[in-house]
Amino acid sequence: YLDCLWAQVQKLKKDRWQERHILRPYIAFDSVLCEALQHNLPPFTPPAHSDDAVYPMPHVVFRMFDYTDAPE
């Protein structure tokens, strides 16, 4: 497993630590966002948890190892 992890670290280093699995839609608007005025937003307090609350599951799964490296 360490060999696989080290290979992934080396690949990330070669790619200048840029991974391409996490969606970043704001990159398309970088030039607009750089020139935009910053706004002070009011404080946001999320609602308290309740037992009947339904939370969305995370969308992105980052796997440290390739699935073929894990024994059955």
Q: What's the CA gap between 17 and 9, in Å, rounded?
A: 9
Give start and end residues of each alpha helix (H) in the chain.
2-14, 30-35
| Domains of the chain, residue spans | 1-33
Centroid of chain to Cα 2: 23
pLDDT of residue 50: 93
DSSP state of 68: G
pLDDT digits (tens, 9 = 90+) for 49-64: 999 999 888 766 666 6
Q: What does the pLDDT look like over 4-52, one tens digit per residue?
A: 788 888 888 998 888 777 888 888 999 998 998 989 999 999 999 999 9
